[in-house]
Amino acid sequence: MFLPPLRERLEDVPRLAVHFLMKHAKTPNSGSVTLSTDAVKKLLAYLWPGNIRELEAVMCRTAMSNGVSFVTPDQIELQAQQSLMEERSSLLRDAKKQNIDQFEKSYLITLMHSAKGNVSHAAKAAGKQRRSLQRLLEKYGIQRQSFLQ
């Protein structure tokens, strides 16, 4: 049976956190445990590389060092890492760069094809300086000789 990692089951995090807090409370049956809204947000923003075991360890430390009736975000100690939002932002930046690079290379190939390999004519058509266009061609490994007719 396949069980996805905790970071893909974020809806389970608050319920599991409360369970582990109660399990590791200093005094058993200490009543109800409540996570503040900000504490829940902090737990949901974390990527949980250690999966459920890490969540249990974090909640155990929280229970041992604090009262467990009401938990605030500053009572929860997490390892420093990128938050889920930062990771998604990073993925977006990478995808954007990849798409821009792909477009740029395709544009340069079309441009060089229409200029029949003449870098000066291609630069003029693109509204760029010849040197700038030459650097872009080098960046993408585009050889002007392959466009000569």
Q: Which residue has the tokens 């905790």?
A: 6
Q: What is the mean pLDDT of residues 103-116?
A: 94
| 85 pLDDT more than 90 | no
pTM given for the model: 0.53
Please, which contacts does 82-86 make with residues 24 or more away whose CB atoms are closer than 8 Å?
Answer: 82/47, 83/45, 83/46, 83/47, 84/7, 84/44, 84/45, 84/46, 84/47, 85/45
> Which structural domains are found in the chain, ordered by start?
6-75 (1.10.8.60), 88-141 (1.10.10.60)
Give the tens place of pLDDT for each residue, 28-63: 655 678 899 999 999 998 888 889 999 999 999 888
